Amino acid sequence: MSTQAEFNYNRVAKAIEFIRSNFQEQPSLNEIAASIHLSPYHFQRLFTEWAGVSPKKFMQYISVEYAKKLLKERQVTLLEAAMETGFSGTGRLHDLFVSIEGMTPGEYKNGGESLEINYSFAESPFGKLIVASTQKGICHMSFIDDGQKAFDDLKLRFPNATYRQFLDKHQQDGLAIFQNDWSKQEQIKLHLNGTPFQLKVWETLLKIPSGSLSVYGEIAQKIERPKASRAVGSAIGKNPVAFLIPCHRVIQSSGKIGGYMWGNTRKSAIIGWEAAQMASTE
pLDDT at 80 over 70: no
Q: Average the pLDDT over 162-189 and give the result.
A: 84
Q: Average the pLDDT over 139-155 and give the result.
A: 96
Sign of CA dihedral 10, 126, 48, 69: negative
> 205-221: per-residue pLDDT in tens?
988 888 889 999 999 99
The pLDDT confidence band at residue 1, using thresholds 50, 70 and 90, is very low
- The Cα 89–Cα 79 span in angstroms is 8
Given a contact cutoff of 8 angstroms between Cβ atoms, the answer to whether 250 and 216 are in contact is yes
Distance of CA 17 to the CA centre of its chain: 18
CB atoms within 10 A of CB 196: 8
Q: Average the pLDDT over 227-236 and give the result.
A: 94
pLDDT at 87 over 60: no
Min mean pLDDT across 9-13, 107-111, 114-118 is at 107-111
> 259-274: per-residue pLDDT in tens?
999 999 999 999 999 8
Please give the mean pLDDT across all residues of the chain. Answer: 86
pLDDT at 250 over 50: yes
Min mean pLDDT across 3-12, 169-178, 229-238, 260-269 is at 3-12
Strands 138-143 and 127-133 come out as antiparallel
DSSP 114-134: T-EEEEEEEEETTEEEEEEE-
Q: Average the pLDDT over 170-197 and give the result.
A: 84
Each as own residue / partner, the long-range contacts of residues 67-74 (CB below 8 Å, 24 or more positions apart, any chain) are 67/213, 67/251, 67/255, 67/256, 67/257, 68/255, 70/212, 70/213, 71/213, 71/214, 71/215, 71/251, 71/253, 71/255, 74/212, 74/214, 74/218
Q: Average the pLDDT over 161-185 and give the result.
A: 85
pLDDT at 2: 53
Q: Average the pLDDT over 46-66 and give the result.
A: 89
Beta strand extents in the chain (DSSP E only):
98-102, 116-124, 127-133, 138-143, 162-165, 188-192, 214-215, 250-251
pLDDT at 136 over 80: yes
Q: What residue type is 279 in one-letter code?
A: A
| Helix, strand or coil, per DSSP, at residue 3 | helix
pLDDT at 162: 96
Min mean pLDDT across 155-159, 230-234, 255-259, 262-266 is at 255-259
Q: Average the pLDDT over 147-164 and give the result.
A: 96
pLDDT at 20: 84
Of 93, 161, 247, 257, which one is the catalytic site residue? 247
Give CA separation, 58 vs 39, 105, 242, in Å.
18, 45, 22
- The Cα 69–Cα 80 span in angstroms is 17
- The Cα 277–Cα 180 span in angstroms is 8
pLDDT at 90: 36
Given a contact cutoff of 8 angstroms between Cβ atoms, the answer to whether 162 and 148 are in contact is no
- The Cα 94–Cα 206 span in angstroms is 8
pLDDT at 81 over 60: no
Beta bridge partners of residue 135, listed in sequence order? none
The overall longest dimension of the chain from CA atoms, in Å, is: 58
pLDDT at 74: 59
- The Cα 30–Cα 242 span in angstroms is 33
- The Cα 60–Cα 6 span in angstroms is 25
Q: Any catalytic annotation for residue 247?
A: yes
